[in-house]
Amino acid sequence: MANLKINKRESTAVINSLSGGVVPRIGLEHIAVGREREIKAFLQDLENIAEGGATFRFIIGRYGSGKSFMLQLIRNHAMEQGFVVADVDLSPERRLAGTNGQGVATYRELMRNIATKTNPDGGAMKLILERWISGILTQVAQATGKRPSDDGFDDQVEAKILEVVKDMENLVHGFDFATVVTAYWQGYRADDDEKKDAALRWLRGEFAVKSEAKSALGVRVIIDDDSWYDYIKLFAKFVADIGYKGLFILIDEAVHLYKISHTVSRQNNYDKLLALFNDSMQGRAENLGILMGGTPDFLEDSRRGLYSYEALRTRLVPGRAVINGFQDTSAPVIRLETLTTENILELLQRLAEVHAVHYKYKKTITAAQLQEFTNECVNRLGAKDLLTPREVVRDFIQSLNILQQNPQLTFKQLIQSSTFQPTRAGKNPDVDENSEFAEFTL
């Protein structure tokens, strides 16, 4: 990291996000430490998806252990490798199943967050379609020598478009999906923005009634709570057919499923989760990866967690061959272990580098001081096992900010001050961990 190269946008995102206890969307590669085995496993998943397979994984870790960080890191890896990605945080309004639009609300959020390498900030649905059509226009022009204004040119373009969509018509809801994609091309060709917008609204699940969709696009169905996952599979196949590696979906804050108090509603969500899991693991989905982040309680609680559902418990419980201290990274559940002291020190070193580059000063903090800071956090918290990346990172960034803003203050004076109190990890007696606001994730 001696010659760290990070632009201002990335360094700003890293510092501002981490000091606020949330995960930056960009610049993660500059501060990623440890987790080599887990990352290797996820990269293998990406290879499998690109070859037409499907995967479903759970990342399990307690609050502040790095679940969301890992999700975002894998998201960035997937985009770099040519995947379309989409992410969503579950909430009381966004679930996997529901009778009041909670399921389709999750779908809509995923579609709003569609991103690619060239459009990493989301909202890439329209750009994906236009890039595909533009590519076909170029192919036809090169193959025929014709110009877009020549007779027959549009017919040849439409023939190539139909080759792609026809491949989907035999899938569940594939005919309607193909009809809407074709309608988008027709709007593109006729310069009809209203028709293109209608097609995009349908693909994003924004039509509320079937009659409106029939009037605008000639289709008799809309994407709803029951069918949204079928359209995820269709979209995965579609993007793979038009040149991307596949679709990678990241679902965070799965603890909200565990927090559903109504037993039947929670069971319905676990039924849907089982359907997603089985589809992926049994090969009924193509070019699709799903990664879900949750807490140990979400997984293991025998009363309300996934282990309360026998069909999921038997699929997710570790096998008898697993030895303490070792993890099968090819299993559907990956548990985030506590970072080692060496990992924490390397992380602090990288953060110090980013901070110095961002504020344009020469880094003076030493390895001994980083060790002293870590020891101070551990000692004041009272137990090394309570230490999580979020607590250490947030306190460290704030300490660097104070030192940078107050040049007369020394590092030793700061961390040995009676007012220096590291953020406590673990259970806080003042926080209801079953409340919808209990998890703020790094």
What tens digit of pLDDT does each residue of 184-229 get? 999 999 999 999 999 999 999 999 999 999 999 999 999 999 999 9
Distance CA 304, CA 262 (A): 10
What distance in Å separates the CA atoms of residue 355 and residue 362, rounded to the nearest whole number?
Answer: 10
Please tell me whether the overall predicted TM-score, pTM, comes out greater than 0.95 for this model: no
CB 414 within 8 A of CB 403: yes
Which tens digits make up the pLDDT trace of 44-75? 999 999 999 999 999 998 877 788 888 999 99
Structure-block tokens of residue 72? 């975002």
Residue 92 CA from chain centroid, whole number: 18
Instruction: Tell me the residue type at 415.
Output: I
What was the pLDDT predicted at 381? Answer: 54
Query: Rounded to an integer, what distance in angstroms lies between the CA atom of residue 137 and that of residue 160?
Result: 10
**pLDDT tens digits, 375-414:** 777 676 555 555 677 778 888 898 898 888 988 888 888 8
Q: How many angstroms separate the Cα of 64 from the Cα of each of 98, 321, 441?
A: 29, 29, 6
Q: How far apart are CA 217 and CA 180, in angstroms?
A: 7
